[in-house]
């Protein structure tokens, strides 16, 4: 099938299909006139590629995951790669949670500006506390995060 039909069947732009071909994820035969001639299995392959990307796989990981022939999946290797991706996602979630906690503590410390201190002095105070590792754990509940927005803080009696 030609690239236009493949694009229509998959919902992908022709440029995206050519990108996957250039990345070595999709092989295609050329007709005598130079036009690409995609096999029927290209639809399934593109669905697998886009699904794997949505699941967080990089193109290199997808390339390693795909068998040379769609009928030759290596079950154990596939399961191992999928399990490793779950481990990677869990590690990322942990790093993101730590970053979130740090940012919430930073926001809380900035908002706790002592009376009579200007913004520049408060910035130095907060940066010194960060350098010394003295930021407190945030005391906010999950629902309080919205209250960190400046327009909402004023209603609570903040700055």
How far apart CA 60 and CA 49 sit, in angstroms, is 11
The answer to whether 130 and 110 are in contact (CB under 8 A) is: no
pLDDT confidence tier of residue 143, bands split at 50, 70 and 90: low
Read off the pLDDT of each residue in 51-60 and give the average, rounded to a whole number. Answer: 93
**8-state DSSP, 25:** S
Q: What is the CATH number of domain 3-73?
A: 1.10.1660.10
Whether 152 shows a pLDDT value over 50: the answer reads: no
pLDDT confidence tier of residue 157, bands split at 50, 70 and 90: very low
Whether 107 shows a pLDDT value over 80: the answer reads: yes
> Domain residue spans in the chain?
3-73, 90-156
């Amino acid at each position: 099938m030609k690239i236009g039909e493949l694009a229509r069947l998959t919902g992908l732009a022709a440029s995206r299909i050519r990108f996957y071909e250039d990345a070595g994820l999709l092989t295609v035969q050329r007709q005598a006139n130079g036009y690409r001639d995609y096999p029927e299995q290209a639809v399934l392959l593109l669905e697998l590629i886009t699904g794997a990307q949505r699941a967080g796989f990089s193109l290199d990981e997808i390339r390693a995951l795909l068998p040379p022939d769609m009928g030759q999946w290596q079950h154990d290797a596939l399961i191992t790669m999928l399990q490793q991706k779950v481990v990677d996602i869990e590690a990322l979630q942990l790093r993101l949670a730590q970053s979130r906690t740090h940012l919430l503590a930073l926001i809380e410390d900035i908002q706790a500006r002592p009376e009579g201190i200007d913004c520049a002095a408060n910035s130095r105070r907060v940066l010194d506390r960060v350098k010394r590792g003295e930021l407190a754990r945030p005391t906010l509940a999950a629902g309080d995060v919205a209250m960190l927005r400046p327009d909402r803080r004023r209603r609570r009696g903040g700055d």
